[in-house]
Structure 1
Amino acid sequence: MEVVNQNVLRKDNTLVSITHLTQLLHYVTGFGGFLVPLIIWLSSKNNVTGMAEHGRSIINFQLSMLLYIVLSIPAILLLGLGILTLIGVGILGFVLPIVNAVKAANGESPSYFLTIKFIK
């Protein structure tokens, strides 16, 4: 008897929403806001409908926020503009995952603005 593995995509908006919300681990534990969504995305992008698109946008958003943080550190010396950038990144990093988790629960596409598309 031969068992055939069929790649059947399942619709799981809850998992996609949880993937967005795991970005908030930065605020709770100080780490994990990049690794946990990456692991969820890599393990389920071929099995869950929409996970490939949402996962790419999450990873691109996290990499963009990391780049903005790194660039804002030297900008602190320039009239304190880097402090404003760090505050903005902190607010966007908290609000946008929540907004996109609600969008994912409703079956909509993610929209992270100010995101550089590292992964296409």
Structure 2
Amino acid sequence: MTERSHEESNWATFCHLSALAGYLLPLTYPFSCVLLGNLIGPLIIWLLKKDSYASVNQQGKEALNFQISISIYALAASALIVILIGIPLLIGLAAFNFIMIIIAAVKCKNDKAFRYPLNLRLLK
């Protein structure tokens, strides 16, 4: 694997970190997922930089696929709130998402491609 430029590495890392915007919305996490706060950042960076840098294209698709997957999982867990299992699932999902974003950003910053676990590969 060829070494990426510092700027390319930064943009690829920002693709992952920008998903944390879903946590910054004033609403609680499951509803911010529904409002797609976690998708806006990676989508914007990917659309702007995908043609400039190959790793941003690859890592941007990976980040978007994971955030779409997390949104789907959060919607399913939200439906399970009625039987009281949804709340712990949403808390666990939020923690899993946060940890995976940080791990992906660190790996990406160290010039290693990252593939999220439990990721639905919708964008190819």
Q: Same fold (TM over 0.5)?
A: yes
Gaps of 5+ in 1: 1-9
Decide whether the 8 Å contact of 2:77 with 2:89 is kept in 1. Answer: yes
- Please identify which structure carries the higher helix content: 2
RMSD: 1.6
TM-score (normalised: structure 2): 0.80
Please say which structure displays the higher CA radius of gyration: 1
Gaps of 5+ in 2: 27-31
**Other-structure match for 1:6:** none
- Identical-residue share of aligned pairs (%): 31
Give the 3-state SS of the residue equivalent to 2:52 in structure 1: coil
Aligned counterparts of 2:21 and 2:79: Cα–Cα separation in 1: 26
Listed one character per residue, the Cα deviations across residues 56-111 of structure 1 (whole Å, up to 9, x for unaligned) are 11111111111011111221223x22112101110012111111001111111112
User: Which of 70, 73, 81 does residue 78 from structure 2 map onto?
Assistant: 73
Decide whether the 8 Å contact of 2:14 with 2:45 is kept in 1. Answer: no
**Other-structure match for 2:19:** 23
Aligned counterparts, 1:1-120, within 5 A: 11=5, 12-30=8-26, 32-78=37-83, 80-120=84-124
Give the 4+ runs in structure 1 shifted more than 4 A.
Answer: none
